[in-house]
Structure 1
Amino acid sequence: MRSTYGVTTKADVEQIAHAIRGYFSPNGFGYRRGHIPFPLHTQVSVQGRSIRIALSRPVTFLPHLLGLPYVSPPPQGGTEGRIAPFFLTRQEKDSYILTPNEAISQGRFPDSVEMRVIKDNDHALALFERGELDMTSTTGLGQVAAQELRDHPRLTSRALSIFGNLEFGAHSASLRSDAELRIGIARVLDCRRLADVAPDLLIGHPESLHAEKTPDQATKRKIRKALTKANRIIYADFPPNGGIVSAVVSTIRSEFGVSLHPEALSLPQYARRMASSNFALAYTLTVPEFEHPAAALMPWHSRGTAARGAEFSDARLDEILESAAAVRDGQGECWNAASRRLREVIPRIPLTQTISKFLIDPSWSHISFTGMGAIRVESYAKGQ
């Protein structure tokens, strides 16, 4: 396979090779982070401007891993940063100027691209209307603004790989360890109705477990008992999280007859609680680190970060994930099997998916985006 980094010097190549060695080493960051489900022995050699990588086991999503920032550090020396096929050539307080790396751009890219930090959304919209911006932030519009702009001729919509979930922490051990009880709760949560809290920015999670048939009375009694001590759902206090959590609380109270309350936290407070699993229930947002099924699934391998944080392991899931990582599977059968298994055992209930709404000039209609809403810089190429 081939991956382009936009390197210009031998020092650049050596630096990237060093990062790759560290990332793919037997106890390297890729293994510790959970991107790779098994330890690897790697041989990395530099041949001119090329880097040859030999792995002790195949990793079918290797090209995606090579695109991560952990294996593409900025060039040594100076203040320039590399965002292949661009260099970050100037940085001001609220502005970043990118210019093409001519070693690989060959005149296909604009002479420069300016990315501006505009904290006031109304100001950004005004600049767009005056022609001073080619597009607004892909995640900048709130529900009110998105609703007001529904009929705007330049409004564009994209489904993002940003998902809202109900998580189970250390103070809800019985729910975290019992898939039957979690599925029972999931059956009563109508994700389409939850998304109505912000209908322009949310849809129900595509893998929702909601069903018209609610749990039987015996299961409800078990869930009610398990929820006795899990009486709060924490969430980071920014919209539309509060509305979603309130809707979840209302449904669980009604269906199971328990005392449950939302608890809004500042982002630092929320991060600390989540890191230590010091909560019973939590509304979370998850974003895969790269665009491949492995990004969402591998963290739940028993060695992965999500599994370790939730004290979760499932031998069958580990087996499927290790097979999927090593077997060339063009149709995705192995990854689909892993997804189905994870859906059965994961200590998490999927609830919502985020929709991006933003304004973009027609001249930029060729621009493409990642699942997280970031611009694919290679799509700046003229006519691409």
Structure 2
Amino acid sequence: MCGYGCGYADPRAMRSDFVAPIKVAHPDLRQICWIGLMCLCPLNNVLCGFNSLLCIFNTCCLLPVKTQSLIAFGLAMKSFGTTPQQLGKRRYSHRDDVVASHLIEQRHTYPSCTVQCQVRSVSTQLEGLCPLRKAVKKDDFLRLRFNFKVPVLQWAGSFSHSEWGRLETYIPPYGWKGLPQDIVRSTLALLNDSSSSRLFERRWPDQCVRCAVVGNGGILRGSKQGRAIDSHHFVFRVNGAITKHFEEDVGTKTSFYGFTTNTMKNSLNSYRKDGFTKVPRGQRVRYIFIPSNERDYVMMSAAIQGLTVTSGHDKGDWPSRYFGFKPPVKHFKMLHPDFVTYVTQRFLKSPLLKYSQLYMPSTGALMLLTALHMCDQVSAYGFITKNFADFSDHYYDAVMLPLRFYANHDMQMESWLWEVLHARKVMSLYKRTKVK
């Protein structure tokens, strides 16, 4: 049943950090739609349209989660060019060339791929030894999507006048449009450590680096996966990454913490009562900023220099309260706009791309895709699976809470992507049935 009544929200405002919710009673059910960074109807965890898409059209479509999941699942399959029956089984055909071309089609709000973005065969000394690239090399379907030549990180060498001219056309996180040039230039200039362009150093040239990416899904509660997670060379965590009191299920190691300034602060506010009182710290922890807007450049710059934030939304904030006082430059990383564009176009080309100022892949998705391009063996824990409704939203929820879907992410498409990559042996997705 669909009813009109959700207030209109300008998508240009919905990606901003200033959230001005609009609430309008549904004429029949008298439910409330909140429009801001999320648009969620509270009745039985009902979504406002397909991932709140219809809210943008002044429409609130009240559909059960299961029905919406099926709709989104079908749209995701259509975009990726396969069906559940073909999942992990289908052989390469000319159809894949067509699908791949569709996936990397340039949109006016995204930068066209540079020469680094063109499809190339995977060439690495480890391709015959390590599971991830070995799987990509053998699978034509995957080889059309993975490109390990795209720069993952920004650093001092990423800025030039020509790059500014190219990327200032596209909005963050896909470019630098609307950002002050001096802020981008000065922030990237600080990333001048010899390791700034690399996520980690390999101890041995022939080492297969094993990475665990830990989401915060309720599937991890009672999983006893902590030891398995900590056994990896590197562990990625995101947003409300609580480990205290949950060590047996999620481990203790943190190598990389991924976030935007907005998601970090929202997590500290929203999950403080659950135990998330500070972001991970330590000499071995590296911070991966997702450049979603000016706030991320300004916050990183102040953190590296040991200063307060001097402008913008976070003016007066003291980054040392999050990262410690003036950590070494090597502790800070920032994703490259070209990488965010590439993974969005190749892997997560959601229908929500029509609203480019609203949609972007989730923090967890970007960290998992980062690991898939930097590590040699990847395991994903705490990510959405087909039976997500059996578990609470987060592993640290005190009571059972249904998974919430947000207007600026396409969680169903992300879920489907993880299933595809798991089936094709590119990564291992942790799954389990609910213990009764």
TM-score, length basis structure 2: 0.30
* Larger strand percent: 1
TM-score, length basis structure 1: 0.33
Q: Which protein is bigger by CA-based radius of gyration?
A: 1
Report 1 or 2 for greater relative contact order, CA contacts < 8 Å, sequence distance ≥ 6. Answer: 1
